[in-house]
A and B are shown apart, each in its own frame.
Chain A
Amino acid sequence: MQRLVAEAGLLKFEQMFFLAEFNVIQPDWGLILWTTIFFLLFWYIIGRFAFRPIANALKDRETDIQGALDEAKKAKEEMANMKAENETLIAQAREERARIIKEAKDTGNNIVNEAKTKAKDEAQKIVVSAKTEINNQKQAAMIDVKNQAGTMAIDIAEKILKRELSNKAEQISYVNELVKDANLN
Chain B
Amino acid sequence: MSDPRPHLLKRGPLLLTALLLCALPFYLDAFWLRIGLFSMAAAIGAVGLGLLSGTAGQLSLGHAFFLAVGAYGYVWLAGEPGPGLPPAVALVLAVLLAGAAGGLFSPVAGRVKGIYLGVATLALVFLGHHVLLTADSVTGGFNGRSVPPLELGGFTFAESGPELTVLGVPFGAEERLWYLGLALFAVTWFTARGLLRGRPGRALVALRDSETAASVMGVHVARYRSAAFVVSSMYAGLAGVLLALSFRRVVPDYFSLALSVDYLAMIVIGGLGSVAGATAGAVFVTALPLLMTRYADQLPLVAAPGSGDGSIGPTEASRYLYGAAIVVILLYAPDGLHGLASRTRARLRRRPPATRPGGTGPVTAGTATHATSDTTARAKEHTP
Q: Answer yes or no: do A and B interact.
A: no
> Which residues of B does A touch, CB under 8 Å?
none
